[in-house]
Homo-oligomer: A and B are copies of this chain.
Amino acid sequence: MKREARDEQLERMQHSAAHVMAEAVQHLFPEAKFGIGPTIENGFYYDFELPRPLTPDDLPVIEDKMGEFILRDASFVTEQMSKKRARELFADQPYKLELLEEIPEADVTIYKHGSFWDLCRGPHLNSTGELRAVKLTRIAGAYWRGDEKRPMLQRIYGVAFESEEQLGEYLQRQAEAAKRDHRKLGKDLDLFSTHEEIGPGLICWHPRGALVRRIIEDYWKDEHDKRGYDIIYTPHIAKLDLWKTSGHWEFYRESLYPPMEIEGQHYMLRPMNCLGHILIYKSRLRSYRDLPIRYAELGTVYRYERTGVLYGMARVRGFTQDDAHIFCRPDQVEDELLEVVRLAQFMMSSFGFEEYEVFLSTRPERYAGTAAMWEEATESLRHVLDRLALDYEEDPGEGVFYGPKIDVKLRDALGHEWQGPTIQVDFNLPQRFHFCYIGEDGSEHSVTMIHRTVLGAMERFVACLTEHYGGAFPVWLAPVQAVIIPIADRHADYAHGVEADLRSEGVRAIVDDRSERMNLKIREAQLEKVPYMLIVGDKEVASASASLRARSNEDLGPEAVAAIKSRIKTAIESRS
């Protein structure tokens, strides 16, 4: 409760700061027309129509003016009035008048402080003097009401905190997040690109990003081999009718790509991998002895998302799920779920995620299957989480219509949340596609189907990893693990010998033998977050060694090449 009260106070602070900012803008631009000024996560904004475009230089000027108004400690006063009176008050504010017309009540609420009043429900601080630490962060354009046919207003974003210290921490976190933004690092480290010519949300994986992905995929495949999964491949398109049978066409229409007509048949890009897996399951008669069957696929799917919500590799239109479908007998469900959760935990810890939150979503109002089936499966999921002593939060009624599920959210090094593993029991598809197994009694029994991903999507997962590690991937994932830097041209042969030596043991080493200064090469290798730099000159050539430096710029001193090799190999094997 204490936290809630604090959140409420912060919310008041943000909102009041927006009003004070508007007052400052009104003072600096008396012709300003005001749009809306809501609070948002971690801050606030206000939209204005102004006589000239703002520049970043305007922000400190506005901040200074806000400082004056804060010092005046003007009280926030609320007043209820008729719409008619409000219309007079906002006579020269066309956007406010428009908003007024949409309020169904006869009376409206106004908040005033100093020389500024606004159409507003509040709540606010008692007075402007309660504002402790405010910072305007950026300017953007925004269509009035988000409608591109309406005027483009100017939006100023800001943040407000309870102390300068908190603001400082926030700004520092923001700066760190900006440095770790996978879109920025994706460019700096040459990991991936998107292209207007191809279309938004469609990722081209450059050599280094593709290598990180491939290492993850190989590791994923090995772990799935060990755990009795069969890895398969199924097509990216299928007849539309199949998606009608499955229910995807009915329930997810808005995120599907439009059908393509071939020889009078409609085909569609797949939004999910499950249907091919089901058809392979159904291609033979399956006996109770054959189960569980676990089909896994690194399957690329395509889903339509509005351009506006696309975000680097984290939210895209085409992505490769690390998907699997488990077909099992009812008596196997719990063990299968247990092993899936264990695998998910194993994978998360392999990639350095120790913090995550687990959510269990239960039966919604509309559902496939019977209430008893839901109860049993949900109980299995609870039981599995209990057996693993995992804390979880229950989301009552938040399951998808086809079955209960477990969602895991990862927390990266900056505390940002990412969608992680998902595990879903499905009562819908077994009914719609009538698949079964032959029991010991010789008759048909219904199969339980489990959908699961443990990384989610390669695109989002690599984005998340990039931000988690700030681009400094652990040695086993680093696209280049060692750069060998010859001090002078005469050391180049030795450098290439060391390179070959390291490569023969599977270390991804390269020589930087450009005719540039050594310090520049070291700096560039550090910017590329290469874990190890081996600098080699006369002394090193003579002693079969290298002067070792870490990407943190730590000088690890001279070390025999054999020792360096084993150091790097140990780091790779320990995945540290």
Knowing A242-B198, A261-B258, A279-B195, the reply to whether A205 touches B234 (Cβ < 8 A) is yes
What is the minimal beta-carbon distance from A192 to any residue of chain B, in angstroms?
Answer: 9
Which single member of B206, B236, B239 contacts A197 (CB below 8 Å)?
A: B239
* A211: Cβ under 8 A from any B Cβ: yes
* A7: Cβ under 8 A from any B Cβ: no
Which single member of B236, B302, B304 contacts A302 (CB below 8 Å)?
A: B236
* A210: Cβ under 8 A from any B Cβ: yes
**A260–B257 CB distance below 8 A:** yes
Knowing A197-B279, A258-B260, the reply to whether A230 touches B242 (Cβ < 8 A) is no
**A283–B206 CB distance below 8 A:** yes
Q: Kindly specify which of A108-116, A262-270, A449-457, A547-555 makes contact with the partner chain.
A: A262-270
Q: How large is the interface on A (under 10, 10 to 19, 20 to 34, 35 or more residues)?
A: 35 or more
What is the minimal beta-carbon distance from A252 to any residue of chain B, in angstroms?
Answer: 15
Copies of this polypeptide in the complex: 2
Alpha-carbon separation in the docked complex, A259 to B257 (Å)? 11
What is the minimal beta-carbon distance from A309 to any residue of chain B, in angstroms?
Answer: 12
Interface centre among A199, A236, A269 (most CB of B within 10 A): A199
Which single member of B232, B235, B237, B257 contacts A210 (CB below 8 Å)?
A: B232
- The secondary-structure label for the interface of chain A is mixed
**B204–A236 CB distance below 8 A:** no
Alpha-carbon separation in the docked complex, A147 to B221 (Å)? 49
Knowing A204-B280, A283-B193, the reply to whether A210 touches B238 (Cβ < 8 A) is no
* A276: Cβ under 8 A from any B Cβ: yes
Knowing A206-B283, A231-B207, A307-B263, the reply to whether A197 touches B258 (Cβ < 8 A) is no
Q: Top 4 closest A-B pairs, CB basis?
A: A207-B230, A202-B235, A205-B233, A198-B238
Which A residues are closer than 8 A to B by beta carbons? 190, 193, 195, 197-199, 202-207, 210-211, 213-214, 221, 230-239, 241-242, 245, 257-263, 265, 267, 269, 275-276, 279-280, 283-284, 289, 295, 300, 302, 304, 306-307, 318, 320, 514
Q: Given A205-B232, A235-B318, A257-B260, 16 more contacts at CB 8 Å?
A: A193-B279, A197-B238, A198-B235, A198-B276, A199-B235, A199-B237, A199-B239, A204-B279, A210-B231, A211-B231, A213-B233, A214-B231, A233-B320, A236-B302, A237-B257, A263-B307
